[in-house]
Structure 1
Amino acid sequence: MLATERWRHMVEVEHAQSDELRGAVPPPTDHWRPYADQFRADPRRSGDDLVDHLLEFVGRDDTVMDVGAGGGRLGLPIALKCRSLVAVEPSESMAAVLTEQAQESGIENVSVVQEQWQDAVVDPVDVVLCAHVLYTIRDIGEFLKKLEYNARKTVLVVVHDAPPQSQIYALWKEVHGKERLALPSLPQLREVLDELEISYQVDLMPPQPARGFDTLEQATTQLSRRLYLTDGSPEAVRLERILPGLLTEDEGVFRIKDSQPLRPALVSWHPTHAP
């Protein structure tokens, strides 16, 4: 099986498992609406290793595109340095957070394209960034090729070294009695890039602990969504019963015991058509 085919297979079987547990309830039109406010971050913050490293690839006169920009956590700090930033973000709630953050921070060189990347009509820029988007993309080859086609100088892709929801995989066994099927992440991306004959560099960033939860009630609510639980179902009752024993509290933040920190990787390359 080709690397691109393995990638598609992993995405499709993971989605099929989610659909099975979701049942007849359709997926939300905007998955990120309950979480969008969590992606707010001060564009002028310091001490963010990933932001600092990304800025090393961006010049004052560069134009930049952030594909899957979310709430602007990475794109807005870059906009403070570059000539202009195009933020491609399909989620209405995420795009709203990004726009509000830009306005509040006095950042005026940002334009938003509220479309899926595959459908977006955009002009090429100097640097294309795509952070934490690839995990659920079925046609990974075409997605990456479009990133490269629209970058004159550099493509920057950020992915974790493990699936983004892997920190709650242990709960799947506890609640559903079955293993969670994994989405692709950095190891599979390396295989795809090798298959596409793209010469790339990988820079591993410091590990990031789980964001955690402010209260036990918040943990129950958010984890119920991620586990596709229906209120009052036997699985929801089981989660509520066992969750206190599966969490640890540190300085007012609740995290899942023994969950391993995720380590972001910055994967960069120069497009084959670049001068």
Structure 2
Amino acid sequence: MNANEERTLAHTPDPATAAFLAHRNLLFTVAYEMLGSAADAEDVLQETWLRWSGVDLAVVRDQRAYLVRVTTREALIRLRTLSRRKESYVGPWLPEPLLTTPDVAADVELAESVSLAMLLVLETLAPTERAVFVLREVFDLPYGEIADAVGKTSAAVRQIAHRARAHVAARRPRGSVSSAESRAAIAAFHRAVETGDPRGLLDLLAPDVVFLGDGGGRARAALAPVVGVDAVADLLRGSLPRIGATMTVTSAQVNGHPAVVLYRGDGIDTVFALRVDHGLITGVYAVRNPEKLARAVHETVLRR
């Protein structure tokens, strides 16, 4: 649903429209966390609206729960389609980066759940596990509501949630990171991009740092993960551009965390996000696929 459609709906003061718009940011966040793609999340919301607009509101006891249930089911359908699409994707697949509002960073749990690092962890879950984890751990929905959304019993959902939590705990960022450490890492990376020289970054790169570049076959990017401080430093040394008249670099809040955005002319060339563990950069994520950068030109509102 685009901005014009929202404005049209907003001028139609019927109860179904009002309820949908009241929960829209929440529904988008649910879909995005399940899919890692804003474009696909928007398609899910369109399908949710089409189903919601035909519902008899008199029989809906809890509108929020009903809308979340429909969104989850539509996202599960889309997730399976997206999984097949990724099989033929050129190079590493990274989530679509979002320029986020300051309140997302202020909500620590929400910011962690939508970080590129966490979304990559969620990619390792099976579709139903991902849905259960997101609805329980991020949105704190009761097991009964989750069971209705994923078509399982409450007992089965509890088992799935336990399994998903263990899976995510083994793969999520390994230690808490202070805001000062995060700022130091992003500042060093910003300088490296600005100067084209990664030497000032070397002390902050973990020995097992991983670089993932997502060009999707539409922009130049490493076609496989690059692992290790020396290999990543060499890659950065050879690929970071010299900032000149046609290129600029800035810092921004992306998915609730500081990131570096490289502009070429009037358009975004690359969004760089970092994973930081115990003060060291363990992951560098460079999104260059132009299809994934359109949403990063304006802020996206996320809600729990």
TM-score, length-normalised on structure 1?
0.22
Structure having the higher helix fraction is 2
Larger radius of gyration: 2
Q: TM-score, normalised by structure 2?
A: 0.21
